[in-house]
């Protein structure tokens, strides 16, 4: 039961962060300013695969209620799962030691992982949008996706991760201890 409550709490936080910014469309109907992207690395490292699913389902729900549910929402769903999943895989499953952001080297490594995740998301979503909706400027769209998925996780997500781990006692997942719902 506790794990389901955690999952519901993750969705609640997702929507609290996502909803207010839905009105800040950059390419109306396609992309907007998405501070909710800061949650991807947090959910991946602290909650694992369930956190990745929250990012994907939350994005799909926001597309549906925000009037931007389109065919491109399918690769958007995949990208919003796989981007955080890549972070989870690199920071938890493939990690040789427990996740930490205590040193400059660890911070830099995490920034690179976030950049890699953002690139994966951009590569998954942009071609679909460009192919299905040729009227959308694919280069500008890709830039916005990259900016959303790097700037928010690095500028806001990393300080929150440090706060969660160092001050509030949250423990990142390890290979031995994973959250399964």
pLDDT at residue 3, as a whole number: 86
Along the 181 residues of the chain, how does pLDDT read in single tens digits?
788 999 999 999 999 999 887 766 666 666 778 899 999 999 999 999 999 999 999 999 998 988 888 888 999 999 999 999 999 999 999 998 899 999 999 999 999 999 999 999 999 999 999 999 899 899 999 999 999 999 999 999 999 999 999 999 999 998 776 655 5
What is the SS3 assignment for 31? strand
pLDDT at residue 166, as a whole number: 93
pLDDT at residue 6, as a whole number: 92
Per-residue DSSP letter, 91: I
- CA distances in angstroms from 55 to 37, 68, 104, 116, 148, listed in the order given: 8, 17, 28, 17, 14
pTM above 0.75, yes or no: yes
pLDDT at residue 58, as a whole number: 97
Q: Of 84, 80, 89, whose CA–CA distance to 43 is shortest?
A: 84
Our CA dihedral for 117, 15, 161, 79, rounded to 10 degrees, sits at: -10
Per-residue DSSP letter, 36: G
């Amino acid at each position: 039961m506790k794990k389901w409550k955690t999952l519901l709490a993750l969705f609640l936080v997702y929507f609290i962060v996502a909803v207010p910014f839905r009105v800040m469309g950059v390419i109306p109907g396609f992309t907007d300013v998405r501070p909710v992207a800061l949650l991807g690395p947090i959910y991946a490292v602290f909650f694992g695969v369930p956190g990745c699913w929250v990012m994907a389902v939350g994005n799909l729900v926001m597309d549906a209620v925000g009037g931007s549910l389109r065919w491109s929402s399918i690769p958007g769903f995949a990208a919003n799962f796989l981007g955080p999943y890549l972070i989870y895989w690199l920071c938890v499953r493939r990690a040789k030691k427990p996740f930490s952001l205590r040193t400059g080297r660890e911070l830099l490594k995490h920034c690179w992982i976030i950049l890699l995740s953002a690139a994966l998301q951009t590569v998954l979503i942009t071609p679909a949008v460009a192919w299905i909706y040729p009227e959308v400027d694919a280069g500008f769209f890709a830039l916005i996706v990259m900016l959303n998925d790097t700037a928010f996780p690095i500028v806001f997500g990393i300080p929150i991760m440090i706060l969660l781990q160092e001050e509030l006692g949250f423990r990142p997942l390890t290979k031995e201890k994973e959250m399964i719902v």
